[in-house]
Structure 1
Amino acid sequence: MKQTFKLGTIGGVPVGLNWSAVVTVILIADILAQSILPSAPAGARWLAALVTAALFLGSLAAHELAHAVVARRHGVRVNSITLWMLGGVAELEGEPPNSGADLRIAAVGPATSGAMAAVFTAAWAVAGAFGASPLSTASLAWLAITNGAIALFNLLPGAPLDGGRILRGLLWRRRGDRISAAHAADRAGLAMGRAMIGGGLAALLIGGWFDGLWLVLVGWFITSSAKAEDRWTDLREAAADRRIADIMTPHPDHGWTWQPAGAFIETVALASRQKVFPVIDAGGGPVGVVTVERLARVPAGDADVTLGTLAVPLQAGRIVGPDEPATTVLSYPPFMGDLIAVVVADHHLLGIVTTENVQMLIRRSRLRLAIPAATGRAA
């Protein structure tokens, strides 16, 4: 999830907002001001609505921060926390080391939302006892109820919700097999998401357009996320015990920093099937990459411009060694074109890893699974 607005770092973890979170805050504030909060001067009612919506966003951040804190205690790296339209996302790198860690990381989110519900309930009771304004008590009541609802909703047993992670952890502990447990949680999430979409469409048909539309949106998110997680599970399974060298394209076509673009296009790019090319410096190490699209934009009069000038510099994290685990690059999005990483040993180019390499990894894994069935039919 892309961060549109950076809020800062907490414990070294970047925290930010996706633009859709701003839309949610405005929408919640409008609903509170127009339909939920008691009558009051418009300025006071809107101020209370905006503060309540901001506190709600803070509650979501606390939920995700709890995941992050527990994940880091178990050695799982946290890359970022992003709040968006349907909640928050703590981007974790790697997997929990065991089923117990998986359960604790998952359960702390709903537990935190439940704790927030309890805090706001207590504040609501105290505010009422001391004669606080109806706007204040109504806002605290809404925050208490909403955080309680978030805790319960997140306990639904299907990925990508926390309840799906809890289901995965329990099945992992029972079966001793994380992969099959993950597949089961993903399938549960897929079924749950489809049920929500069906329920939302039914609500739309009987006139509940807002509730129906929201339910369809949440169901679509759960369905698409469950599919993505199931594919990710397949990918990790396919990459198990494999090295970068096992999946890379060896000896790729490449260019040199001093090489004119026109000459490179004529002698290499036109004859190559690659979409992106590493660019090598005088020492033999890759320093950048250039894509077919970038080369195609070079004007005819600038054919003498060098590849070093055109190349996009390589990020340090995109240079990997051949003996690193293949899982190292699985979560990387493409860097330029379909390039995921450049493989280097002793400062010399050995290969590249592309999205096609990753897709081939999955296809070959499925072929291996099909071999016993095919052998059985032949027999």
Structure 2
Amino acid sequence: MKNSITIGKVKGIDIEINISWLVVFGLVTFTLAMSFFPANYPEWSSFARWSLAAIMAIALFGSVLLHELSHSVVSIGLGIDVKKITLFIFGGVAQIEREPDDPVKELKIAIAGPMMSLAIAITTLVASRLLSLVEAPEFVTVPITYIANVNLILAFFNMIPAFPLDGGRVLRAAIWKAKGDIEVATRIASAAGGVFGYLIIFLGIFLALTGNIVNGIWFVFIGWFINQASQSSYQNLIVNDIFGKIKVRKFMSENPVTVNSSISIKDMVEDYIYKYKYSSFPVKSRDRVIGIVNIERIKSTQRDSWEYTDVEAVTEKLNESLVVSPEDSVAEAMNKIFRNEIGRVLVMDGDTLVGIVSRTDILNHIRIYNQLH
């Protein structure tokens, strides 16, 4: 996700915080310190209110992270890799490498998050009650009770049967198991997600019209997000289904124009970019492909040095995200294309360059498919 900062790694999974999540942190801290605490605990000092508010906002962060980590750990245990977890304004999302190939796996992954949230809620609720019995101070019991309530909300909200919420994924798994068709199951679960999204939007409008403007706007945004996510989830499934049936060999552009690594950037711009009108070119050194160079990497170099800088200096070296095999599916190529910063992949048969697939190729195919269907 763009505008995200990696803060660490857990079990090989990158943990990211999107800048938008800082809005949530600020809102939660401000609301607790300036509204909730003064109304319920007026005797607390300003320092105590702001300190506990920040701690409780961090507890919210931890709760969402544990929720997503539960999905991820179960997914990895079932053989489906997870690249990263991103926390953003509407919660968190685990970037699972591929969809489960079995409804039982889907169910296990989906239920893991709410079960973790429920377990945290029960544990912290019991701890809060025990601390109250021994008359622990309120500034200890209040944050723990807050964690319990937050996790109860996370568990029950996520179990609403509206795709792509966890409950929607449970619904999809049940329909998939009954019908034996993931496309039908996704269409029904996504439709439920769309309906739920509209209900949340209408509720938000009602709240805004009755004077609760802040909560009303918040509900509208959440409803809009769920509605859009449910639609895009179904569309992504269809697109992956289309490209999952096509081999790269039948889809690629053959005999791509290559650039020698030893020529200058100036010569490349004049003799290749302006001539062929491509934004990227495979780069060869002694007849061996060593990577890709594109306009963005050229632009990062001072223009007055183009004549003296060779192409190899700005070449993105070959790596796993830039290469596919002719026998891979276009869906695999597409996943790499939309993850790397180049916008295309090289098709390599061993050490031999046989073709290239670009983001434009994929988008044009989708456009034509939509026109024909």
TM-score normalised per structure 1: 0.88
Matches of 2:288 and 2:3, distance apart in 1: 36
2:116 alignment partner in structure 1: 112
Matches of 1:2 and 1:317, distance apart in 2: 18
Map 1:228-243 → 2, pairs under 5 A: 228-243=232-247
Shift of residue 50, structure 1, vs aligned partner: 1.8
Shift of residue 348, structure 1, vs aligned partner: 2.3
2:311 alignment partner in structure 1: 307
Shift of residue 346, structure 1, vs aligned partner: 2.9
Q: Which runs of 5+ in 1 are unaligned?
A: 371-379
- Is 2:252 aligned against 1:244? no
Matches of 1:220 and 1:201, distance apart in 2: 12
- Is 2:106 aligned against 1:99? no
Name which of structure 1's ranges 79-88 and 184-193 shifts more when overlaid on structure 2: 184-193
Matches of 1:5 and 1:264, distance apart in 2: 35
- Is 2:35 aligned against 1:35? yes
Root-mean-square deviation (CA, aligned residues, Å) is 2.4
Map 1:331-342 → 2, pairs under 5 A: 331-332=335-336, 333=338, 335-336=340-341, 339-342=343-346
Preserved contact between residue 282 and residue 289 of structure 2 (Cα < 8 Å): no
Name which of structure 1's ranges 240-249 and 283-292 shifts more when overlaid on structure 2: 283-292
Map 1:259-278 → 2, pairs under 5 A: 259-278=263-282
- Is 2:12 aligned against 1:7? no
Matches of 2:49 and 2:304, distance apart in 1: 64
Name which of structure 1's ranges 100-109 and 247-256 shifts more when overlaid on structure 2: 247-256
- Structure 1 residues 358 and 55, CA, compared in 2 at 3 Å: closer, same or farther? same
Matches of 2:150 and 2:285, distance apart in 1: 58
For 1:335, the aligned partner's letter is N
Matches of 2:305 and 2:158, distance apart in 1: 60
Matches of 1:185 and 1:122, distance apart in 2: 35
The list of structure 1 runs, each at least 4 consecutive aligned residues, that deviate by more than 6 angstroms after superposition, is 295-298
Preserved contact between residue 124 and residue 137 of structure 1 (Cα < 8 Å): yes
Identity percentage over the alignment? 26
Matches of 2:270 and 2:2, distance apart in 1: 38
1:374 alignment partner in structure 2: none
Preserved contact between residue 289 and residue 336 of structure 1 (Cα < 8 Å): no
Matches of 2:96 and 2:341, distance apart in 1: 23
Say which SS state the counterpart of residue 335 (structure 2) adopts.
coil
Shift of residue 206, structure 1, vs aligned partner: 2.3
TM-score normalised per structure 2: 0.90
For 2:106, the aligned partner's letter is D
Say which SS state the counterpart of residue 96 (structure 1) adopts.
coil
Q: Which runs of 5+ in 2 are unaligned?
A: none
2:94 alignment partner in structure 1: 90
- Structure 1 residues 7 and 284, CA, compared in 2 at 3 Å: closer, same or farther? closer
1:180 alignment partner in structure 2: 184
**Deviation per CA, 1:325-348, whole angstroms, max 9, x where unpaired?**
2221232326345x2311112322
Say which SS state the counterpart of residue 288 (structure 2) adopts.
coil
Matches of 1:246 and 1:55, distance apart in 2: 51
Map 1:14-93 → 2, pairs under 5 A: 14-37=14-37, 38-39=41-42, 40-93=44-97
Equivalent of 2:167 in 146, 158, 163: 163
For 1:19, the aligned partner's letter is I
Equivalent of 1:257 in 248, 261, 264: 261
**Deviation per CA, 1:14-41, whole angstroms, max 9, x where unpaired?**
2232223333223212212222232212
Matches of 1:297 and 1:323, distance apart in 2: 36
Shift of residue 300, structure 1, vs aligned partner: 7.2
Preserved contact between residue 120 and residue 151 of structure 2 (Cα < 8 Å): yes
Q: Aligned residue pairs: how many?
A: 368
Map 1:154-233 → 2, pairs under 5 A: 154-233=158-237
- Is 2:287 aligned against 1:283? yes
Matches of 1:57 and 1:118, distance apart in 2: 18
Matches of 1:5 and 1:137, distance apart in 2: 32
